[in-house]
Structure 1
Amino acid sequence: MTLRRTQKLIEQSDPELYHLSLNLRGRMGLSSSGHEAEYEPYDLVLHDTSRPHLIRATTSHGEDTILGTGLFIPRKLLPLSDKVIDSLIMQRLSAREGIGALLAQFLTQVNRDSGSYRPDDGPRLGTVAINLLSALFTHALDVSGSLPPETHRQALVLRIRAFIQQHLHDPHLTPRTIASAHHISTSYLHRLFQHEEETIAAWIRHQRLDHARRDLADPAQRTTPIYAIAARWGFPRASDFTRAFRTACGIPPKEYRHQHTVE
């Protein structure tokens, strides 16, 4: 099997996605940017839909089938610089142990059990996938001691973002507690996020409101009280949540829910 993405195809349509391929059976070869690499079963490899590439999948000796799966990731969900991506593109990432094995198990199980999931499970599964992928990339960057300081800075930012996603429910999640959990000073934490699009406090608030908005629009959670959804995402005071939600979305949460769950 051959998959070819040319510059002409990219110019016609570029969804700006990363693609993580998981090879499960057979051999896979990837050519991109003048480089070539071969991958064995249970190797993970990252490539970019914005770059021309050629993928060749062939059977191994004694086998008559090839098998694999993959994950498309919107660029905006992994705010990495081109330099960091260059260090990860085509790098062989193991799915045989550690975080890579967890990610491989997740991808294969979701693929195998796809019929048992509902459409509104998608965002939750996506959050799990992004957290696992961020952890895998952070590990890959950490073990590469020859990478420049900027790459290590972004690896730390990735780790912090994953930590925040896991603790959004905690109303005591603050820059101070985040800095303490990562053994850095609060001032250094703020300096890390000076290079990002939002301050760390703004990013936490954005993530909490985004998850709450998603739950409010979920028909399956129509009977869940708004204050319970607010508390779930780190807003213990309903009045604080209503004020923050109205500021971000232009309407109060009750009206937002009505607009998005009315039959």
Structure 2
Amino acid sequence: MLTEAEFRTDALAPSDRFAGWQQCMTDVVAPMEITSPYADDFWADHRLLRIEDTWLWPTRLHASRYRRTPRLIRQSDPGLLHMTLVRPGSGTVLVEHGGPHSAVGPYDLYVLDVSRPCDVGTDDEPIVGVGVDFPRSLLPLPMSTSLDDVLGRRLSGRHGFGALFSQFVTHLVDQSDSYGPADGPRLHRILLDLAAGLLASGLDRDTALSPETRTRNLVLTIRSFIGGNLHDPGLTPAAVAAAHHISTRHLHRLFRQEDTTVAALIRDRRLERARRDLADPALAHTPLHTIAARCGFGAPAHFSRVFRAAHGMSPSDYRHVRLREGAEPAR
């Protein structure tokens, strides 16, 4: 399990809630000026997860604004980069960080350098999001890389590295109890690599990434592409390579370090989706050929043959056993 703590204002007396939240933000990030039209009876629901030297904090809270001023920076400068993924249910977050204001809505992101003045928040709508904080020195980009052109900007969380970063962060905070201490270093590396990829793409400077980080990010991008195209019976290693403008030989070379092949990954992900659908009571009357097609198996006979080879029983028998056991769909 990831290291986790929780802060809830409803555990405090109403008169202490806003001050408690101010102290929480000082402890988690750095001292800042916080204002809210709801300061007299403030609410916030906040979890804090630590992975190595990085903090993730999914939060829901009243409308409020946060300012890092030169005086506060001189008082305390932890050298952090802060990234926020704005989630559904949030109002639009206004961000000012040395340039024009940006309006960042649900599914998008913004990045702050805590060592520089900033002004962030909403005036009348709740904030729902996930903050990610880590020392700037850990980012796998050269320290000489200027982030000026990306700080405070709205970054899309729907496409490219923004989507990969958003999906990974959301998975971590929603499935934190799925991991043990031994998983921390690998999760941390993936998180930092995706953060670097997001920033480099925002700067249009992919060459700033180290060759190792570019390779790992390309593998993550390919895995995400495969997961999103399992329904396509034409999803083959050659098609995956073409979609990423690399040779099939280079694609296979990338996956030598992944303990699998691209063809095996496609097959296993399709079987995983098929198992989930077959065990889902809501799909109990969906024909097997429909499930086969949805999972990218071109013909029902091929689906049955591959499934039986992997699980020792036919798809229909597997469905019968799982539904009889009352098993929940795998997630």
| Band of TM-score, shorter chain | 0.5 to 0.7
User: Does 2:259 correspond to 1:220?
Assistant: no
Match of 1:195 in 2: 257
Match of 1:69 in 2: 129
Tell me the distance in 2 between the aligned counterparts of 1:203 and 1:241: 16
Instruction: Report the residue type matching 1:244 in the other structure.
Output: V
User: Does 2:157 correspond to 1:99?
Assistant: yes
User: Does 2:84 correspond to 1:26?
Assistant: no
Equivalent position to 2:80, from 25, 33, 36: 36
Equivalent positions of 1:211-250 (< 5 A) are: 211-250=273-312
Tell me the distance in 2 between the aligned counterparts of 1:97 and 1:210: 32
Tell me the distance in 1 between the aligned counterparts of 2:151 and 2:289: 42
Equivalent positions of 1:6-25 (< 5 A) are: 19=56
Instruction: Report the residue type matching 1:169 in the other structure.
Output: H
The alpha-carbon distance between structure 1 residues 93 and 193, as it changes in their structure 2 partners (threshold 3 A), is: farther
Q: Check whether the contact 1:141–1:151 (CA below 8 A) recurs between aligned residues.
A: no
The alignment's TM-score, normalised by the length of structure 2, stands at: 0.47
Q: Check whether the contact 1:138–1:156 (CA below 8 A) recurs between aligned residues.
A: no
Q: Tell me the percent identity.
A: 36
Give the helix-richer structure, 1 or 2.
Answer: 1
User: Aligned to 1:99, what secondary structure does the other structure show?
Assistant: coil
Match of 1:185 in 2: 247
After superposing the two structures, state which structure 1 stretch, 251-260 or 187-196, moved more.
251-260
User: Does 2:313 correspond to 1:251?
Assistant: yes
Equivalent position to 1:169, from 222, 231, 248: 231
The alpha-carbon distance between structure 1 residues 246 and 140, as it changes in their structure 2 partners (threshold 3 A), is: farther
**Structure 1 residue runs without a partner (length 5+):** 6-12, 46-58, 73-84, 111-133
Tell me the distance in 2 between the aligned counterparts of 1:138 and 1:147: 7
Match of 1:113 in 2: none
The alpha-carbon distance between structure 1 residues 187 and 241, as it changes in their structure 2 partners (threshold 3 A), is: same
How far the C-alpha of 1:250 sits from its partner, in A, is 3.1
**Structure 2 residue runs without a partner (length 5+):** 1-20, 29-48, 69-77, 85-92, 94-103, 112-118, 133-137, 142-146, 171-192, 327-331
- Number of aligned residue pairs: 199
Match of 1:127 in 2: none
Instruction: Report the residue type matching 1:198 in the other structure.
Output: T
User: Aligned to 2:233, what secondary structure does the other structure show?
Assistant: coil
Structure of greater Rg: 2
Tell me the distance in 2 between the aligned counterparts of 1:62 and 1:170: 42
How far the C-alpha of 1:217 sits from its partner, in A, is 0.9
Tell me the distance in 1 between the aligned counterparts of 2:121 and 2:265: 50
1:181-205 Cα distance to aligned partner (Å, 9 max, x none)? 2221110110011121311111111
User: Does 2:267 correspond to 1:205?
Assistant: yes
User: Aligned to 1:191, what secondary structure does the other structure show?
Assistant: helix
User: Aligned to 1:214, what secondary structure does the other structure show?
Assistant: helix
Q: Check whether the contact 1:26–1:67 (CA below 8 A) recurs between aligned residues.
A: no
Tell me the distance in 1 between the aligned counterparts of 2:310 and 2:131: 31
Match of 1:154 in 2: 216
Q: Check whether the contact 2:83–2:131 (CA below 8 A) recurs between aligned residues.
A: no
Q: Check whether the contact 1:171–1:236 (CA below 8 A) recurs between aligned residues.
A: yes
Instruction: Report the residue type matching 2:236 in the other structure.
Output: T
1:132-175 Cα distance to aligned partner (Å, 9 max, x none)? xx998754454443221011112211222222122211112111
The alpha-carbon distance between structure 1 residues 22 and 199, as it changes in their structure 2 partners (threshold 3 A), is: farther
The alpha-carbon distance between structure 1 residues 152 and 239, as it changes in their structure 2 partners (threshold 3 A), is: same
Tell me the distance in 1 between the aligned counterparts of 2:232 and 2:300: 15
Q: Check whether the contact 1:137–1:155 (CA below 8 A) recurs between aligned residues.
A: no
The alpha-carbon distance between structure 1 residues 199 and 86, as it changes in their structure 2 partners (threshold 3 A), is: farther
Equivalent position to 1:145, from 189, 207, 211: 207
Q: Check whether the contact 1:20–1:70 (CA below 8 A) recurs between aligned residues.
A: yes
The alpha-carbon distance between structure 1 residues 62 and 194, as it changes in their structure 2 partners (threshold 3 A), is: closer
